[in-house]
Structure 1
Amino acid sequence: MLTRIVRMTFQPEKVADFLAIFRDSENKIRNTPGCRHLELWQDADVPNVYCTHSRWDSATDLDNYRRSALFGQVWPATKALFAAPPLAFSVYPAGPESTSSPLSTT
């Protein structure tokens, strides 16, 4: 299972526009093959900063979404509302019992 976090800082006056985009697309994203979870977080101290938290069966599933027509609509519209560059990263669970990572620890 791959977890993807995307932290986005919006122009304060554009937050409502972003929320409309997210609400219009969230169920479509959740129904994308390989997507197991999607939620939106708002920063506790900076109200125009949001994070998406999603879980994917694999990096391939996430990459397929990122090449989809849906992403091609959602991301450019969202990106136009930014006040700063986004920070995005993907992580796997860590620990000796974890088998999710494609990397070997040996």
Structure 2
Amino acid sequence: MLIRVVRMSFRPAEVPAFLELFHATKNRIRQQPGCQHLELWQDADLPDTYCTYSHWADVAALNAYRKSALFGEVWPATKRLFAAPPVAFSVNPVL
């Protein structure tokens, strides 16, 4: 399993647009092959900062999603709302 975290800071006026976009697409993302889990977190101290937290079967599943039409729809629309560049990273659980 691969865990992906994407931390995103939004311009305050754009937060409602981001939340609308996330809620409109979250189920479609969850249905992507290899997506096992997806959550949205809000920073406890920075209310305009959110993180997506997702589990993928493997890096190939994540990369397939990143090449999908859905990602091509969601990511550009999200990027337009940023106040700063996102920080994204993938980790593997250590058992």
TM-score of the pair, normalised by structure 1? 0.89
Note the alpha carbon deviations across 1:6-65, whole angstroms, 9 max, x for none.
Answer: 000000000000000000100000000000000000000000000000000000000000
Which structure ranks higher in relative contact order (CA pairs < 8 Å, sequence separation ≥ 6)? 2
| Structure 1 residue ranges, 4+ long, deviating more than 3 angstroms after superposition | none
Aligned AA (1:54): S
Of structures 1 and 2, the larger Rg is shown by: 1
RMSD: 0.5
The structure with the largest helix share of the pair is 2
- Deviation at residue 89 of structure 1 after TM alignment: 0.1
Count of aligned pairs: 95
Note the alpha carbon deviations across 1:82-103, whole angstroms, 9 max, x for none.
Answer: 0000000000012xxx4xxxxx
Aligned AA (2:47): P
- Corresponding residue SS for 2:53: strand
Query: Could you list the runs of 5+ residues in structure 2 that have no partner in the other structure?
Result: none
Aligned AA (1:15): V
Which residue is 1:79 aligned to? 79
TM-score of the pair, normalised by structure 2? 0.99
- Deviation at residue 78 of structure 1 after TM alignment: 0.2
Which residue is 2:63 aligned to? 63
